[in-house]
Copies of this chain bind each other. A is one copy, B any other.
Amino acid sequence: MNKTMTNVLVSALLAVAPAFAAAPAGYDAKYAADRAEIEDLQARYIFALDWQDADAYASTFTEDGVLDWAGGIAKGREAIRAEVRGMRASFAKKEAGDAPRRPARLRHLTTNAVLKIDGDHATHVAYWFELDNDGRDRWPYVGGYGHYEDELRRVNGHWLYTKRKIFNEVMDSRAAGPQNPAR
């Protein structure tokens, strides 16, 4: 292929690239089934997180799964379980200090999931925010918000996180970058 023709082809490819990047992902016949299971996984993840249920939380990751969050990077289920046990201890200590008030309740809510599936692998980006009421008046407020950038793998028929990275707009060091992560 001569250079001129190559240039023409490259220009043509560049011309369609933005449209291509922004085009809807391909949805195969199994997309709805996979999405339903991953939405359920995401919801189980949150309940486990907010009730500091270390086993249930770690079980949403693969054995070698990686959690990259504000507290650091935990690799593997055992390390991830330890993170949640740390949260539970921290909550228990806080509750003790708060007596005789009722316990504060931290809750995370997620939405806007963009999910791309390729066989037994998936990428998932979604939004999260948190509600907390640890002030003296126990009144709810928004305590943080951001997005996830995740990878998943189907293991023995079940979708699990292999990597979850949590961006948080209330922390300089965890704020999102300038590029749309859903592309």
State the A residues within 8 Å of B (CB).
18-19, 21-25, 27, 29, 31-33, 35-37, 39-44, 46-48, 51, 53, 55-56, 58-59, 102-103, 105, 107-115, 125-127, 129, 131, 133, 138-145, 147, 158-159, 169-170, 172, 175-176, 178-183
Q: Is the CB of B131 within 8 A of A140?
A: no
Q: Is the CB of A170 within 8 A of B139?
A: yes
Once bound together, how far apart are the Cα atoms of A143 and B179, in whole Å?
Answer: 23
State the main secondary structure of chain A at its contact with B. mixed
User: Quick one: which of A31, A102, A103, A107 has the most chain B CB within 10 A?
Assistant: A107
Question: Could you say which residues of chain B place their CB within 8 Å of the CB of A145?
Answer: 105, 107, 131, 140
Contact of A109 among B32, B47, B56, B111 (CB under 8 A): B111
Q: Is the CB of A47 within 8 A of B169?
A: no
* Besides A138-B170, A139-B170, 13 new A-B residue pairs in contact (Cβ under 8 A), listed by A number: A24-B59, A40-B114, A43-B126, A47-B112, A48-B180, A48-B182, A51-B182, A53-B180, A56-B183, A103-B175, A105-B169, A109-B112, A140-B143
Contact of A25 among B22, B40, B141, B143 (CB under 8 A): B40
Closest to A28 in B: B33
Question: Could you say which residues of chain B place their CB within 8 Å of the CB of A51?
Answer: 176, 178-182
Contact of A22 among B18, B59, B144 (CB under 8 A): B59
Once bound together, how far apart are the Cα atoms of A42 and B114, in whole Å?
Answer: 9
Closest to A113 in B: B43
Contact of A127 among B35, B107, B147 (CB under 8 A): B107
